[in-house]
Structure 1
Amino acid sequence: MENNIETKYNKLIVVLSVAIPLVVALLFGVNLRKLGYDVQPLSFLPPIYATINGLTAFILVAAVIAIKNGNRKLHENLMKFAIACSVAFLAMYVAYHMTSDSTKFGGEGIIRYVYFFILISHILLSVIIIPLVLITYVKALAQRYDKHKKIAKITFPIWLYVAVTGVIVYLMISPYYTN
């Protein structure tokens, strides 16, 4: 049976899980410069948000090590930091795409298929990870550690994949960025 904390957050989880991908998709299609706003392209952001993705991956691994070593407080702090990094990534990603033209991948042959496989799986799993992270976090808030641990075993590898493939996508497309 759910406790009050879980009940309190369930609607918010659903709203955020739907709203975040929708807002990102909508804003991704908005280019402020093409709409006539005098804004500078934020072309310096991709290496920063790729670094944040890499940092998130390290934080996630460190958090798992912390909890396996029985350090619940460190685990909690690292997970909050990982969530903050993901939010920062998302804000920078949207800001970049609202001020800059999309970059086309220029690779050819098999590497093109590899790139698009990684990119598409990254995007799809980045949508799926939103409710998983939120549910996992709320289970911990509610002190339902049995349920938290069960869903964390699903959340962790997906979130780690999204973080690592974010870096890989950046590294693969970075030669094609133009200022």
Structure 2
Amino acid sequence: MNSASILPHLNAVLNGISIVLLVVARVLIARGDIEAHRRAMLSALGVSALFLLSYIAYHVTSPIFVFRGHGVVRPVYYTLLVSHVILAAVALPLILVTARLGLKRAVPRHRRWARWTWPIWMYVSVSGLAVYLMLYGIES
């Protein structure tokens, strides 16, 4: 097996884990469990970092996988993909700033940033998984 056959599936699993951790972290902070929230968010950050490394490794070592869908699903796929890519680029600095503020316990600033960061991070994770499902779930 080569990286082209393994890494996309690993990336999807890592995205799925990120989604679960982000939801868990959101529930924990809503309950006021700051330390558990912190652990869940740091875990989401770690899993997302692994995803980013795996994603880069995949794109450096593998050919481009072409979307095989036709008809109305094609513009849906590309709209989703473009929004995913743009927001992924926006998400990285937001995530890093928000995490830094949280680790410094700068709570009011952390909350202001997190109100934007969490939904963007969640969208990027969910849309990444959706892009994967559309790429690998649609037969030619």
Q: How does 1:1-12 map to 2 (within 5 A)?
A: none
Structure 2 CA distance, aligned partners of 1:176 and 1:99? 23
- Structure 2 unaligned runs (5+)? none
Question: In structure 2, do the counterparts of structure 1 residues 100 and 159 end up closer, same or farther at CA, with 3 Å as the change threshold?
Answer: same
Match of 1:34 in 2: none
Structure 1 or 2, whichever has the larger Rg, is: 1
Q: Choose the corresponding residue for 2:43, options 69, 76, 81.
A: 81
Give, in angstroms, the shift of residue 176 of structure 1: 6.6
- Counterpart residue number, 1:52: 14
Per-residue displacement from partner, 1:18-52 (whole Å, max 9, x unpaired)?
xxxxxxxxxxxxxxxxxxxxxx4442111111111
Q: Distance in 2 between matches of 1:167 and 1:68?
A: 25
Within a 5 Å distance, the mapping from 1:60-79 to structure 2 comes to 60-79=22-41
What SS is found at the alignment partner of 1:104?
Answer: coil
Does residue 163 of the first structure (1) align with residue 87 of the second (2)?
no
AA aligned opposite 1:108: H
CA distance in 2: counterparts of 1:176 and 1:95, whole angstroms: 24
Post-superposition offset of 1:167: 0.5
Equivalent residue of 1:143, what SS?
A: coil
Could you tell me how far apart the structure 1 residues matched to 2:138 and 2:54 are?
19
Matched pairs, number: 138
Question: Residues of 1 paired with 2:85 and 2:69: CA distance?
Answer: 19
**Could you say which residue in structure 2 is the equivalent of 1:35?**
none
Q: Name the structure 2 match of 1:116.
A: 78
Using the TM superposition, give the Cα deviation of residue 157 of structure 1 relative to its aligned residue in structure 2, in angstroms: 0.5
Provide the C-alpha distance between the structure 2 equivalents of 1:160 and 1:92, rounded to a whole number of angstroms: 19
Choose from 149, 153, 158 the match for 2:115: 153
The answer on whether the counterparts of 2:22 and 2:40 sit within 8 Å (CA) in structure 1 is yes
**Structure 1: where are the runs of 5+ without partners?**
1-39
Q: Is residue 4–residue 63 contact of structure 2 (8 Å, CA) maintained in 1?
A: no
- State TM-score, norm by structure 1: 0.73
Deviations 1:36-74, CA, capped at 9 Å, x for gaps:
xxxx44421111111111110110010011111111111
Question: Which of structure 1's runs of 4+ aligned residues deviate more than 6 A?
Answer: none
In 1, distance between residues paired with 2:52 and 2:63? 17
Deviation at 1:128, TM superposition (A): 0.2
Q: With structure 2 as the length reference, what TM-score do the two structures score?
A: 0.93
Q: Distance in 2 between matches of 1:140 and 1:80?
A: 10
Measured in 1, the distance between the counterparts of 2:97 and 2:79 equals 27
